Amino acid sequence: MKACRLPVALLVALVALFALPAAGSAAPAPNAACATIVAPRRAVELPVQVAPGLTVRVRDPYGGLIARNRLFVAFSIRYASPADRARVASVTWTLDGRAPRRDEGGRDQLLAPSTMYAAGPHVVRVRIAPAGGGVAVEAELQVIATDCQLASLAAVPDARGGLAVEIGSGGPPLRAIELRAGSGRFGTPRSGRLGTVALAPGGRERPLRTAALSRGGRALRIAGLPPGTTAVRVRLAAGVVAPGHRCTLSAWLRGGDGALVRVVQRC
């Protein structure tokens, strides 16, 4: 018995970057260029029924998109309890129909350097055999390995109660960014100064004032970025983002092609 494959929509969502697959194929097409901003994808977990009363989850933490600049890549089996794990006799991983040439993850994980995955599409398959001699089941994860750098957003508290926010495009030029504070609003200090902003490469730090706020204070927009800007560093003063809410931050990045890409803070 074979589990359902990963839905096609999860694998080909970035039409601007990847060509559409041929009709009837669930495999994503390889990355053609690195000129478009690409955001990391949400993790995917496939539920797989191994035996009556026993369902495990096959986890792809990359949502079908592997950046080859990572040190290691890991796919894994998740169990609801140690008792469920004991009901599995064996787990066998294959990559593109063959045993992986390197695997340091043990039984329940395929763990190997990202460079084991050549740029382009791959199929990671796992075969799970239940204890007691039942029929083994299989599940597939279809992924793309890319040499392109992925966009990023990282927000770290500073020593003065503020927040240091780093936004990167991964290489393509940025025209504008818009930070959003989840479902809340940014605070507005009495001084009218939200903090500072610096552009990379080579940009000097300059004040960031409340005039940058839009959407009733729900968004902080930095536009008109000079050509060649690939990263923005924002230092927000204490109180601009409520304590404990940094993990709700997201950023909309507008690239040179005008497309908008959303990146979220992962805590």
Q: Taking a C-beta distance cutoff of 8 angstroms, is the pair 12, 28 a contact?
A: yes
| pLDDT tens digit sequence for 34-82 | 888 999 999 999 999 999 999 999 999 999 999 998 889 999 999 999 9
Q: Are 165 and 153 in contact (CB under 8 A)?
A: yes
Q: Which secondary-structure segment (H or E) carries 208?
A: strand 206-209
Residue range 198-254, pLDDT digits in tens: 998 877 889 999 999 999 899 999 999 999 999 999 999 998 987 777 888 999 999
> Whole-angstrom Cα distance, residue 64 to residue 21?
14
Q: What angle do CA 96, 100, 106 make, to 5 degrees?
A: 130
* Domains of the chain, each with CATH number or no CATH: 8-146 (2.60.40.10), 152-264 (2.60.40)
Please report how many Cα atoms fall inside a 13 Å half-sphere around the Cα of residue 133, on the Cβ side: 0
In this prediction, residue 24 has a pLDDT band, given cuts at 50, 70 and 90, of very low
Q: Work out the angle at residue 166's Cα, subtended by the Cα atoms of residues 236 and 180, and round it to the nearest 5 degrees.
A: 60
Q: What is the pTM of this model?
A: 0.74
For range 171-188, the mean pLDDT: 90
Which residues partner with 66 through β-bridges? 145
